Structure 1
Amino acid sequence: MQTTLVILGFIFTLFSFLPLITSPLWWIRILDFPRLHVALLLSIILAAYVAVYGVQSTSEIVMVVVWALAILNELRYIIHFTPVVKVEALRTEKANPTNAFTLMISNVRMVNQKYDKFLERVLEANPDMLIMNEPDQAWHDSVCKVLDERYPYAIKKPLDNTYGMLFWSRNKLHDSEIRYLVEDGIPSFYTVIELPSGDKVSLFTVHPQPPRLMLNTETREAELLLVAKEAKKAPYPAVVAGDLNDVAWSKTTKLFKEISGLIDPRVGRGFFNTYNAFVPFFRYPLDHVFYDPVFRLVSLRRLPKFGSDHFPIMITLSFEPQREHEQVHPRADKEDKQEANELIQEGLEKGEERNQEKQNSNSQ
């Protein structure tokens, strides 16, 4: 039993410190996700060891101290998404904000066929705008009749590779584009939304590749940081939303915020975990909304599941530019900008390599 606890303690300590390595290797970056789980499990191991065997020798003292440091290392990331920390995104003080909009984001899971259950969620929530990640043609054909009747504006790109994307809006859209920023077959959307007041918002929707077995994260980092730079230079206040396949506390997300200048409504409020809906203990915040400080938060909530491995998430924002200065404005320094440019270049090169491999495979 003692040996087992020591081995487990060593493994989880390694899990805590490995992500400090700046590398796109999938087996390192995947460890950005379970920081809370590693902290909890390592705390249990430490408590069990001390309670059963005590701490007597110098080696045991060193071991327990290292375990404690590993726990603190994990907590320093996730604590920002608890009420212990001051909120980053302020709530509106208006009882009934008139210049507001509601956005619902949902990764529907391509193989999920509970189309009617999804439509129930949409009709219950009644958002002004809806982003769907992972829809294929079957999803498009099953929901478009109902949604087209309720939403006069749309951007559509269903795909059978789990990277399809659909967007519906009650608000008028301008300058809409379907773009492939890094990899062929992985689209993102850009559009300008006209609010009822006539004010305009630049919206970017994204769904980059996640870290998984034998698939590193160069292209994910590149796509997110390219969008961050575009959001910073956008002609109108920006909103970036979608399944980012990254957790809210990762170094990449932090760099994304600094480069874009956008804020995260989760900070100081909670995790709002959206994945995995099937496994209660292993859940992470992967579906995000980041926005310009000209907006004030009206509400943020996770919606009930409907058959996908992701929960939908919905946010309502109020356009209040006159109070922009009261909110946090993330800023990038020279080192941040240099790091972002290097990651973008590395990701674009990897994306070109993957595009070439796909072309060669298709030609054979």
Structure 2
Amino acid sequence: MENTLIILGFILTLFSFLPLISSPLWWIRVLDFPRLHVAVLLTIVLAAYLIFYGAASLGEYAMVTVWAIAILNELRYIINFTPLKKVEALRNKDKNPANAFTLMIANVRMVNDKYDKFLERVLHENPDMLIMNEPNQAWHDNVCKVLDERYPYSIKKPLENTYGMLFWSKNKLHDSEIRYLVEDGIPSFYTVVELPSGNKICLFTVHPQPPRLMLNTETREAELLLVAKQAKKAPYPSIVAGDLNDVAWSRTTKLFKEISSMIDPRVGRGFYNTYNAKIPVFRYPLDHVFYDQEFRLVSLRRLEKFGSDHFPIAITLSYEPQREEEQAHPHADQEDKQETNELIEEGLEKGEKKNQEKHQNQ
């Protein structure tokens, strides 16, 4: 048993420190996800070793010290999403804010066919705007009739490759675009939303590729950081939302926030894990909403599942530009900007190569 604990401790310690390497390799970046799991498991291993065997020799003392450092390394990432951290997104103070709206995000999972159950969730929530990730033509055909009657404005791009996207809005849309920022076949949306008050805001929706077996993350990083730069330069206060296929505590997400100067409503409040809805033990916050400091948070809620491997999430924001100076937000330094440009360049090169290979195989 002692050898088993030592081997487990070594493996978990490796899992803790490997993500410190700035590399897009999938087997490194996937370790950004289970920070909490690694911390819990390594704590159990450390406690078991000390209870049963102690740390009498210098070597044993050094080993358990390294394990403790590895646990602290994991905790320093996830502690920001607990009540121990000061909230980043301030609440609105009005009970009935005049300029509030609700945005619902749902990765529907392309192979999921529980269309009616999804529509029940949407109709019950009745959001002002709805983002759907992963819809194919079947999803489009099964929900359009109901949603088109309720939402007069939309942007639609169903696809059969799990990267389709649909967007509906009760509010008028302007200058809407379907963009392919890095890879052909992986769209993102841009639109200007006109609120009932006449104020305009910019909305960016994204769904980049995740790290998985033999699929590195260069294109994911490039797409997220390109959107961060676009949001920073947008003509109106901006929101970025969707399935980012990245956890809230990763270096990429931190860099995204610094470049865009956007706020994360999860900080100081909780994980709001949205994936995997089917496996309670392994859940991570993959569906995100980031926004400029002109907005105040009214509510953030994870909704009931409907058959997808993602929980839907709904956020209600109040547009209060007169109070933006009260709300702190991240800033990028020169090193952040340089790193961003390098990651974008690397991702665009990778995306162009994949696009060329795809066209050659067609």
TM-score after normalising by structure 1: 0.99
How many angstroms does 1:337 deviate by?
0.4
Query: Residues of 2 paired with 1:328 and 1:108: CA distance?
Result: 34
Query: Residues of 2 paired with 1:14 and 1:330: CA distance?
Result: 30
How many angstroms does 1:328 deviate by?
1.3
Query: Residues of 1 paired with 2:356 and 2:50: CA distance?
Result: 55
Aligned residue in 2 for 1:297: 297
Correspondence 1:262 to 2:262: yes
Aligned residue in 1 for 2:341: 341
Spell out the pairing of 1:1-364 with structure 2 (5 A cutoff). 1-362=1-362
Q: Could you give the per-residue CA deviations for residues 188-217 of structure 1, whole angstroms, max 9, x where no partner exists?
A: 000000000000000000000000000000
What SS does structure 2 have at the residue aligned with 1:123? helix
Letter in 2 for 1:175: D
How many angstroms does 1:55 deviate by?
1.1
Gaps in structure 1 of 5+ consecutive residues: none
Q: Percent same amino acid among aligned pairs?
A: 81
Query: Residues of 2 paired with 1:252 and 1:348: CA distance?
Result: 16
Gaps in structure 2 of 5+ consecutive residues: none
Query: Residues of 2 paired with 1:92 and 1:285: CA distance?
Result: 24
Query: Residues of 2 paired with 1:218 and 1:44: CA distance?
Result: 35
Q: Could you give the per-residue CA deviations for residues 215-241 of structure 1, whole angstroms, max 9, x where no partner exists?
A: 000000000000000000000000000
How many angstroms does 1:77 deviate by?
0.2
Over the residues paired in the alignment, what is the CA RMSD in angstroms?
0.4
Query: Residues of 1 paired with 2:237 and 2:323: CA distance?
Result: 14
Q: Could you give the per-residue CA deviations for residues 46-88 of structure 1, whole angstroms, max 9, x where no partner exists?
A: 0011111111111110000000000000000000000000000
What SS does structure 2 have at the residue aligned with 1:273? coil
What SS does structure 1 have at the residue aligned with 2:69? helix
What SS does structure 1 have at the residue aligned with 2:246? coil
CA contact (8 A) 2:88 2:329 kept: no
Letter in 2 for 1:51: I
Q: After the TM superposition, which segments of 4 or more aligned residues of structure 1 sit over 4 Å from their partners? A: none
How many angstroms does 1:263 deviate by?
0.4
Equivalences, count = 362
Letter in 1 for 2:100: A
How many angstroms does 1:123 deviate by?
0.6
Query: Residues of 2 paired with 1:323 and 1:137: CA distance?
Result: 43
Query: Residues of 2 paired with 1:8 and 1:168: CA distance?
Result: 48
Query: Residues of 1 paired with 2:94 and 2:177: CA distance?
Result: 34
Query: Residues of 1 paired with 2:138 and 2:79: CA distance?
Result: 41
What SS does structure 2 have at the residue aligned with 1:248? coil
TM-score after normalising by structure 2: 1.00
Query: Residues of 2 paired with 1:190 and 1:49: CA distance?
Result: 53
How many angstroms does 1:361 deviate by?
0.9
Letter in 2 for 1:11: I
Query: Residues of 2 paired with 1:341 and 1:55: CA distance?
Result: 47
